[in-house]
Every structure is written in C-alpha cells, then in structure tokens.
A and B are shown apart, each in its own frame.
Chain A
Amino acid sequence: MSEILGLWLEWLPRLLGGLWLGCKVAGLSLILGIPLGLVLALTVQAKSTVLRAATLVVVEIGRGTPALVLLQLAYFGLPSAGLTLSAMAASVLALAVCAAAYTSEIIRGGLEAVAAGQKEAADALGMSRLDKLRFIVLPQGLAVALPPLLGFSITILQGTSLCFAITLPELISQAYAIGASTFRYLPALVLASLLYAAICIPASMLVGVLERRLGAHHRA
C-alpha cells in the first residue's frame, strides 16, 4: 500500500498538470459553447423558417455526432479542408460545438418553463419583445436551466478525457503514458479517476444544493 502511495505522490504533479489542462479545455469550450447554445435556443424559436431550420440542423448534428467523432473531425479532418489546428484548439472547438448543441436544448427547456402568465404580464405592460426576453423571460428561464447546465459542465469535464484520442496531454493521456512506461496501469488509472471524482462529486453536490435553493425561491 505504501508503495502505491509513494508512486502516486511521484505521479501526482504530472497528473495534476493533465487535470488542469482538461479543466482549461472544458472551461474554454463552455465559455464558447454556452453563449452559442443560448443563441441557438433563441433562434430555434425565431419567426423566420430559414433561421429555425438552420438552427435545427446545427443542433441535431451537434447532438447526433459522438463527441469522439467531433474531436477527430476537428483534428484529423479539418486539415484536409485547409485548417490545421493544434490538439488544444481542436479539442476546444469540438467540445464547444458539442456544448452549444446540448446546452441549447437545456436553455430552451428553461425558457419554456417560464409561465405563460409571465409573458402575458410583460405584454400587457406594453414591454417590447426584447425587453420581455431580457428582463422577464431570460432571468427566470436561465435560473431554471442553471442546475442542468452545471451538470452538463461536469459531463464536459469528463468528456475532455476523449481528447486522449487526438494527442492532447490531458489527465487520461498522462495516466496512460505513466502506465506504458512503468506497466503500472491500474494504479495510474485509479489515481486519474480519483482526481476526476475529487472535482465531479463535490460539483454534483453543489448542483443539488443549488437546485433546492432555486426551487425554494421560485415557489410562489
């Protein structure tokens, strides 16, 4: 046991580096993906049929394509189309597309959960479409969407392990490399999963707390 602890201590800096890289990729793809998801959630309800159809295509492709395939398209596919990206850039791009598609559905659900009476009250007060959205519908809809959005963010963080397939030196790549050079795959991968758990379990608990809080606030 103490032997394994010794190995873990020795590997920890390297694995933490990998975890940090995964967090950066997850963070950047969410920073890009969630605002895009919000835009898609709004355009999917647009009056224009063209805009609606275009949104549906983007969302369905984003959700229908496995993240691993998106990653490989971005890293191995795009160079044939004249765009060569680093492993980091390709990871962020692919996961941002994935995040945009999924979060657009989460946000759309949140916006639809806003009671019809709220929109009617804003209409009756003569508020413009944009003001109604900005001051009445979005604040309430995003509050509903916040817990599932955070839950999805955790999924994206775990999803960064797929970037292993396109040579990004994130946590799993590091653990695999350690395994390959020491033949101690099991302890290396166990430590990697403990590190994921150390972030994901508290984050999930936080989501639970938040869900209860928001639920209490909204019960009128």
Chain B
Amino acid sequence: MNETSATDIRPLVLVEGLRKSFGSHEVLKGIDLSVQRGEIVAIIGPSGSGKSTLLRCVNQLETHTAGTVTVAGVTIGPDSASHDRELQKLRRNVGMVFQSFNLFPHLNVLRNVSIAQQRVLGRSQAEADERSMQLLTRVGLADKAKQYPARCSGGQQQRIAIARALALDPQIMLFDEPTSALDPELGLEVLAVMRELAEGGMTMIVVTHEMHFAEDVSNRVLIMADGEIIEQGPSREVMQKPQTERARQFLSAVRDR
C-alpha cells in the first residue's frame, strides 16, 4: 500500500541506464530519468531523437535493450523476459494517449471508454458506464457517447482517448505528441483538457512540439537529441536559457517557424 500513498517520496517513474536498439541502430543511449508524483515533464527535441521511444519504453510498448524501468514499484528489466502479468501490472498504473488517437472504430464512444474498466478493473458495465459518462462530461463530450469514433472530429477523438486512459484511474499519463495530428484549432481543445489535468495534480510525461505547453504547463523540460537527454531542468530556465549549443540550435529552429 505504501507505494501508492501520496506522501511517498520515491519517484513514481524511475528509468535507469535505459538503452534501446533497433537492429544495429541505437536510439536510446543510456537514459536516466526520474519523475516525482504530481510532476509534469515535457520531452522535446528533433524527430528521431528517441523521445517517443523513451515514452513507449515507460509502459513497455517497446521493450528495451538494457537498463530498468520502474513505475509505481513495478520494475521491468531489459528485453522483457517479464511475463504478461508483470506488464499488465505496470500498465494498469499508466495511461497513454497516442498521436493518432487509436480509438476502437468498431465500438461506440461509451464502449471505448468502458471496455477496459470492465475487462481490466473488473467493474460492472453500469459502474464502468457511469465513470465513463463522468469523464466524457469532463472532456465536454457527453453528447457523443452513443456515436462511433469516425463521426467525431480529430480533437474530439483525442479528448475521448484521454477519457479512455483516465477511466482506469492511472497514476501517470503519457502523451505521445497528442496534438501533432490535429489542426492548430482542434489542438487547442486537447491542450485545454491537458492543462486541466495538470492543474488537477496528475503526473504527466508529454512528448510534444507545443513549445508553449512545454514552457507554461510543465514543471520540467527535457531536451533530447540523438538518443540522449542533452539538457533538462525547470521549464522556463531550459526554454529561455539553454546551456548547450545543440539545445540552443533546436530551440531557435522551432521558434523561427
């Protein structure tokens, strides 16, 4: 029970010596990262820098080649000799939101949000649906409950995906470029939901190209390049006074756009 108490000073996420190779190409070259409860960490950096891979290692959608990943007391070693059970235990505490939403197209919105509550947490359909409706109301989409995802806009789909992840009461939420597939306008409604979550004290790791979000909402920014964290620290400091040349180069490139 200790590991879930709010006063726990151990980091919620601890990544140590994480390496990941695809074939002979090493995309993560020894990452150390710890995230405290309630922290909001933004990961930015050029494409191919390994930021999405790092995020996907946290909930083990990618297995890693060396090092360990610990989330809420569940530790996973390299190349996942881990059993499905361990993985499920880890994932139970971690919500994830994908760039391409990945809603289930054959289920209506309500079922999308309810199904894992029933199958993973063992809630009854009535309990699950009630929780789903709460969350859909919270993201402003209660009226879409009976629609199919294909009938919803991209921004709506992403808000539904956030509700779906929240429905399992995760201790941490991972966001993998949640607004990259959206028009700027639709992206804003997703960012608004994320801001609210942040204000509510949710622990979040956000891979993003939204520099405003990184600077204003997150507590800490990590800049990655070539599989390494090249700079990290309090958001404003990193964004405004980057120490390394590579980070300066990246930040001025994204600001010039």
Interface residues of A, Cβ cutoff 8 Å to B: 115, 117-118, 120-129, 131, 135-136, 139-140, 143, 217-220
Contacts of A131 in B (CB 8 A): 119-120
Contacts of B119 in A (CB 8 A): 127-128, 131, 135
Of the residues A121, A127, A219, contact of B102 by C-beta under 8 Å: A121
B61 on the interface (CB 8 Å rule)? yes
B56-69 vs A, Cβ < 8 Å mask (1 yes, 0 no): 00010100000000
B85-104 vs A, Cβ < 8 Å mask (1 yes, 0 no): 00110011011101010111
> Closest approach, in angstroms, between the C-beta of B249 and any C-beta of chain A?
32
Contacts of A143 in B (CB 8 A): 106
Tell me if B168 and A220 are in contact (CB < 8 A): no
Contacts of A129 in B (CB 8 A): 84
B164 on the interface (CB 8 Å rule)? yes
Pairs across A and B, CB under 8 Å, 15 listed: A117-B102, A118-B104, A121-B96, A121-B98, A124-B91, A124-B94, A124-B165, A125-B116, A125-B164, A127-B116, A139-B106, A217-B106, A217-B150, A218-B150, A220-B149
Beyond the given A120-B98, A124-B91, A125-B120, could you list 4 further A-B residue pairs with CB under 8 A, ordered by the A residue number?
A124-B61, A124-B165, A125-B168, A140-B104
Of the residues A120, A218, A220, contact of B61 by C-beta under 8 Å: A120
Output the nearest chain B residue to A143 by Cβ-Cβ distance. Answer: B106
B140 on the interface (CB 8 Å rule)? no
B105 on the interface (CB 8 Å rule)? yes
> Closest approach, in angstroms, between the C-beta of A158 and any C-beta of chain B?
32
4 smallest CB-CB distances across A and B, nearest first, come from A125-B116, A121-B102, A126-B91, A124-B96
Tell me if A118 and B84 are in contact (CB < 8 A): no
Taking chain A's interface residues, is the majority helix, strand, or loop, or is none over half, making it mixed? helix
B115 on the interface (CB 8 Å rule)? yes
Contacts of A136 in B (CB 8 A): 104
Tell me if B150 and A126 are in contact (CB < 8 A): no
**Complexed CA–CA distance, A126 and B116 (Å):** 8
**Complexed CA–CA distance, A120 and B88 (Å):** 13
Known contacts A135-B115, A220-B150, A126 near B106 by CB under 8 Å: no
Tell me if B91 and A140 are in contact (CB < 8 A): no
**Complexed CA–CA distance, A219 and B88 (Å):** 30
Tell me if B102 and A120 are in contact (CB < 8 A): yes
Tell me if A140 and B105 are in contact (CB < 8 A): yes
Tell me if A124 and B59 are in contact (CB < 8 A): yes
**Complexed CA–CA distance, A82 and B240 (Å):** 85
Contacts of B120 in A (CB 8 A): 125-127, 131
Contacts of B91 in A (CB 8 A): 123-126
Interface residues of B, Cβ cutoff 8 Å to A: 59, 61, 84, 87-88, 91-92, 94-96, 98, 100, 102-106, 115-116, 119-120, 148-150, 164-165, 168
> Closest approach, in angstroms, between the C-beta of A60 and any C-beta of chain B?
31
Contacts of B164 in A (CB 8 A): 125
Contacts of B94 in A (CB 8 A): 124
Output the nearest chain A residue to B59 by Cβ-Cβ distance. Answer: A124
Contacts of A117 in B (CB 8 A): 98, 100, 102
Contacts of A115 in B (CB 8 A): 102
Contacts of A126 in B (CB 8 A): 88, 91-92, 116, 120, 168
Contacts of A135 in B (CB 8 A): 115, 119
> Closest approach, in angstroms, between the C-beta of A181 and any C-beta of chain B?
55
**Complexed CA–CA distance, A217 and B108 (Å):** 12
**Complexed CA–CA distance, A101 and B87 (Å):** 35
Contacts of B165 in A (CB 8 A): 124-125
Output the nearest chain B residue to A121 by Cβ-Cβ distance. Answer: B102
> Closest approach, in angstroms, between the C-beta of B49 and any C-beta of chain A?
21
Contacts of A123 in B (CB 8 A): 61, 87, 91
Contacts of B115 in A (CB 8 A): 135
Contacts of B87 in A (CB 8 A): 123
Output the nearest chain B residue to A131 by Cβ-Cβ distance. Answer: B119
> Closest approach, in angstroms, between the C-beta of B120 and any C-beta of chain A?
5
Tell me if B84 and A220 are in contact (CB < 8 A): no
Output the nearest chain A residue to B151 by Cβ-Cβ distance. Answer: A220
Contacts of B95 in A (CB 8 A): 124
> Closest approach, in angstroms, between the C-beta of B98 and any C-beta of chain A?
6
